[in-house]
Amino acid sequence: MDIDMNRKESRRTTLFDRGLVRVALRQSFLMLNPWTMARNPVMFITEIGAALTTFVWLIDIFSGNANLLYTTLVMLVLWITVLFANFAEALAEARGKAQADSLKNSRKQTLANRLGSSGELESVNSAELRAGDIVVVSAGETIPGDGEVIEGAASIDESAITGESAPVVREAGSDRSGVTGGTRVLSDRITVKITAGAGESFMDRMISLVEGAVRQKTPNELALTVTLAGLTLGFLLVTATLYPMAKYFDVTIPLPTLISLLVCLIPTTIGALLAAIGIAGMDRALASNVLAKSGKAVELAGDIDTLLLDKTGTITVGDRLASEFYPVNGVSRDELIEIAVRASFGDRTPEGRSIITLAGKKRRGGIPKDDGTYTLVEFTAQTRMSGNDAADGTHYRKGASDAVICVAREAKVKVPHDIEDIVTVVAEKGCTPIVVSENNRICGVVALSDILKTGIRDRFKRLRAMGLRVVMVTGDNPLTAAAIAREAGVDDFIAEAKPEDKLAYIRREQAKGRLVAMMGDGTNDAPALAQADIGIAMNSGTQAAKEAGNMVDLDSDPTKLIEVIEIGKQLLMTRGALTTFSIANDVAKYFAIIPAIFMLAIPELAVLNIMHLATPSSAILSALIFNAIIIPLLIPIALKGVRYRPMGADALLARNLFIYGFGGVIAPFAGIKLIDMVLSAIGLF
């Protein structure tokens, strides 16, 4: 499949890309529809104020009112304020839609080789595929839909969705069996079972999500919206009472001035940027190759207390590989290797193949070859063993230590006295011990080692610095789990974990009032992913895992949670910082407008005119202009987010209060004074 624009290219789009700005400007005017504006109470009030001022302006034109210039400027600034607010939201949405377009460009309608009921292949359009269909995909062909590999293994180019050029391996029977429609097979041949119909694929959902079609307001965002609505209502009542109060002092307040006062006092800054902040949160998550199914999931990530990580495929690379042979019972090392190899013929698991590979490296005289005369004995959950039966009746087995030892004892075969000691030593090293037997005679142990992902320990240190508790979940025995936990640097672990154990742990943490994140890639992780507050599924994992989670990590990197948490905290901090700034700069606007309205009638109020603004009209207009221009100036912060630093909550709060609280008071004083000086200099007032 040709890729016109990959993910990395979309990430390089500048903040104010010319094309995006053009789209956002056009959308700003379309969003003036009152039904659209009603979603944002603060800006809806501002639009109503702009419409009323326009009505007054029309009356002044026909009546020849001396305040026509003042009314004209107030009207223009109010409409500009509304348009700037719409522009912020439209720009955020345009960036999301641009990403969606890049995904659409990377997806083409493809033909699929569907396996018919009689076993023959038929060529059909990918749009005709339904869940349950079986397709065969060979090297050079595009995978026609989301599914799971049920036969074979292949290297796959997933750059269309991840932006990474390095191929990945997808293999049947593993936790890396999930494939995504629109990706390309580079080598070999695989059989795929389709799990999603046309229009329901992972790529389709991605496009829908980045377009903002299903973005939901988070609890924090809803709470802030209610707060802003309450403040708006309060200031609306205050402004409404000012008119009769002014009449009492024989002061006539023009309607444009009252509207200016209202617009300047209500939190228009955060009201204008609130939607953009939420949309930008999902945009930043996707830029980090994390697909969030809602803005709520992104924001919740900022409050996570406990993180559960599945070991295999998440903390480790996924495959346990044979690392050493330990003979017992007087068996030589070469003999143990030969028996282990014979027990591994036909075993297509990574572990089984790794035993044969390691044997070839360790045994100088070569290893036995599979001549096709062996009968494979499959591994089952009941026996916990696998192996082969030779044509001469010899049984070769390998499996869990307790299972092999139990069978030996039942067969009245003497169990070596040192076997349990060796098993314990291997487990304490963090390896998985596999006991090998010939005709129930225990011959030794094969150590299977888990390989930690690069840099995982350092990443966990960063998570702890953020206040997170990291818990490893594994099906390994407690000794092996403890060793891997120490090596990885996690805070706790759950050994021999069943799906219900993960669920129980998550529920216990949630009962304590903690928010829990779960990362996994297997079908057995799906219940826990669904129960957790944040369920992050690996894109390399099974379809069940991806469906259960509310986030999908396209890079299949467990440490990606660090970025997700930072984005979540950024979202919370950005909203809090801009809210603080918005409320703080209302203080300055209060000192600009209130004295200006009553100064002439009540000279004693002149003491409040601490900025020494030129005239009442200049003061009001300066505050209104500042109120308008501060919105586009803050758009970069809304879209990029406040920079997150791993520090304590108290230090973080103090820092943001100083920058955005104190700064939110000082900046408007300076800005309003500067605008007033300009208005006076050009002789308007």
For residue 468, give both structure tokens.
């997170």
Provide the pairing of β-strand 306-310 with 469-473: parallel
Q: Do 565 and 301 meet the contact criterion of CB atoms below 8 Å apart?
A: yes
State the Cα–Cα distance between residues 78 and 150, nearest whole angstrom. 62
By C-alpha distance, which of 102, 54, 100 is closest to 77? 54
- The yes-or-no answer on residue 101 being catalytic is no
What are the beta bridge partners of residue 121? 115
For residue 650, give both structure tokens.
């108290």
Helix (H) or strand (E) holding 582: helix 560-598
Q: Give CA separation, 38 vs 55, 258, 386, 389, 578, in Å.
A: 20, 21, 66, 75, 21
User: CB-based burial of residue 173 (10 Å sphere; 0-12 exposed, 13-18 middle, 19+ buried)?
Assistant: middle
Residue corresponding to tokens 């044979």 = 322
Question: Three-state DSSP class for 289?
Answer: coil
Looking at 391-455, list the stretches that DSSP marks H as alpha helix, in order from N- to C-terminal side. Answer: 401-410, 419-428
Strand order in the sheet with 184-185: 168-171, 153-157, 184-185
Running DSSP on this structure, what letter comes out for residue 316? Answer: B
For residue 445, give both structure tokens.
């142990």
What are the beta bridge partners of residue 191? 136, 151
Tell me which of 310, 533, 586, 676 is the catalytic residue. Answer: 310
State the Cα–Cα distance between residues 463 and 480, nearest whole angstrom. 23
By C-alpha distance, which of 301, 212, 218, 202 is closest to 535? 301
Q: Annotate 322-342 with three-state secondary structure.
A: EEEEEECCCCCHHHHHHHHHH
Instruction: Tell me the Ramachandran region of residue 442: left when phi exceeds 0, alpha when psi lies from -120 to 50, beta otherwise.
Output: beta
DSSP string covering 624-654: HHHHHHHHHHHHHHHHH-PPP----HHHHHH
State the Cα–Cα distance between residues 311 and 472, nearest whole angstrom. 6
State the Cα–Cα distance between residues 150 and 117, nearest whole angstrom. 17
Question: Three-state DSSP class for 169?
Answer: strand
User: What b/e string do you get for 63-88 counting C-beta neighbours within 10 Å, with b at 16 or more?
Assistant: eeeeeeebbbbbbbbbbbbbbbbbbb
With DSSP H G I counted as helix, E B as strand and the rest as coil, what are the percentages for the chain, rounded to 5? Answer: 55, 15, 30
Which residues are known to be catalytic? Answer: 310
